[in-house]
């Protein structure tokens, strides 16, 4: 006589948009079975037994990510993301769903939803870094344009990247490249970087004339420059890895 393993606790949720049954596992809701309207719920136990291996693995991944996640962990998704430059703090919700990809979605009340293979850093880290890149483009580009207008500097193109060792640069063609990781720095440091790069439109070198121009617009530039050397310590470990592709506006 075969003994069936007990089913895990689960909730069934009807969705008017669902055409098929979907399984979702999250730290907050546990195992959810999303079914189309008028679906015969008597079929749910059989479906859960069929997917028992995936469910067990997904529950372990969520539990492990929830218990071990640290803000600067490179192996597990962070529990919180602090973007000091723009005054935003995001609380991260994790959900393991039955798919190979990973998605990141902004929810209300400062919550960020990460779904998919949340236990696999190879899967979730690039996706989360791309989210930071999009945030950087949305906030750093208009900030730079505002500073450029105040300084009377023309910027032809802005490039958002994520290098490991440079906060920004200004090219002879009028292109400003900014590091998306600036979002993790305090706003006064970010403004210093923006002004620093824009001053290169007038002085392409680091001559005394250049530094005097920077200090004219940022009086405490010398102290900020010193503080900026330790700015990398504010960037979480999960931002480090293969560089994201450039995100340009022009």
How does pLDDT run along the chain (250 residues), one tens digit per residue?
Answer: 444 567 788 888 888 877 888 887 766 667 888 889 889 989 999 989 888 887 887 777 666 555 544 444 456 789 999 999 999 999 998 887 666 788 999 988 899 999 888 888 888 999 999 999 999 999 999 999 999 999 999 899 999 999 888 999 999 888 999 999 999 999 999 999 999 999 999 999 999 999 999 999 999 998 998 889 888 889 998 997 654 444 443 3
User: What pLDDT, on the 0 to 100 scale, is given for residue 194?
Assistant: 98
Residue with tokens 């720095």: 185
Nearest to 24 by CA among 118, 106, 127: 118
Beta strand spans in 75-218 (E): 80-83, 88-97, 103-107, 111-115, 157-161, 168-170, 175-179
Reduced to 3 states (helix: H, G, I; strand: E, B; else coil), residue 114 is strand
CA angle 109, 162, 108 (to 5 degrees): 10
Distance CA 212, CA 48 (A): 69
> Hey, which residues does 169 pair with through a beta bridge?
177
pTM: 0.70
Over the range 19-32, which residues count as b (16 or more CB within 10 Å of their CB) and which as e? eebbbbbbbeeebb
Three-state SS for 45?
A: helix
Residue spans in the chain of domains classed CATH 3.30.2010.10 = 135-249
How many angstroms separate the CA atoms of 55 and 10, rounded? 11
CATH for 135-249, options being 3.30.2010.10, 2.60.120.200, 1.10.1740.10, 3.40.50.10420:
3.30.2010.10
The distance from CA 231 to its chain's CA centroid, rounded to whole angstroms, is 18
- Quote the tokens at residue 60: 């372990």
Whole-number pLDDT of residue 230 = 84
Q: From CA 53, how far away is CA 56, in angstroms rounded?
A: 5
Q: Any long-range contacts for 73-76 (C-beta under 8 Å, 24+ apart)? A: 73/236, 73/237, 73/238, 74/121, 74/125, 74/236, 74/237, 74/238, 74/240, 75/121, 76/118, 76/119, 76/121
Q: Which of 28, 11, 120 is nearest to 66 (CA)?
A: 28
Q: Beta strand 157-161 with 175-179: parallel, antiparallel or unpaired? A: parallel
- 247 Ramachandran zone, left/alpha/beta (phi>0; psi -120 to 50): beta
């Amino acid at each position: 006589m075969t003994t069936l393993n007990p089913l895990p606790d689960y909730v069934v949720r009807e969705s008017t948009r669902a055409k098929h049954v979907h399984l979702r596992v999250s730290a907050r809701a546990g195992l959810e079975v999303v079914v189309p309207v008028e679906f015969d719920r008597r079929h749910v136990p059989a479906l859960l037994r069929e997917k028992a291996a995936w469910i067990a693995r997904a529950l372990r991944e969520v539990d492990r990510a929830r218990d071990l996640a640290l803000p600067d962990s490179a192996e597990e998704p962070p529990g919180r993301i602090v973007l000091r430059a723009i005054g935003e703090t995001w609380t991260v919700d994790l959900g393991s769903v039955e798919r190979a990809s990973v998605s990141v979605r902004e929810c209300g009340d400062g919550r960020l939803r990460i779904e998919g293979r949340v236990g696999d850093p190879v899967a979730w880290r690039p996706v989360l870094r791309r989210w930071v890149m999009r945030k950087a483009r949305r906030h750093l580009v208009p900030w730079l344009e505002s500073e450029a207008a105040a300084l009377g500097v023309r910027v032809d193109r802005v490039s958002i990247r994520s290098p490991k060792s440079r906060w920004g640069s200004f090219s002879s063609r009028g292109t400003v490249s900014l590091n998306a990781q600036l979002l993790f720095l305090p706003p006064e440091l970010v403004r210093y970087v923006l002004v620093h790069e824009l001053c290169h439109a007038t002085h392409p070198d680091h001559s005394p004339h250049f530094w005097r121009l920077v200090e004219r617009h940022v009086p405490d530039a010398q102290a900020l420059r010193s503080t900026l050397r330790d700015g990398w310590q504010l960037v979480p470990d999960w931002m480090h890895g293969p560089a994201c592709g450039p995100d340009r506006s022009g």
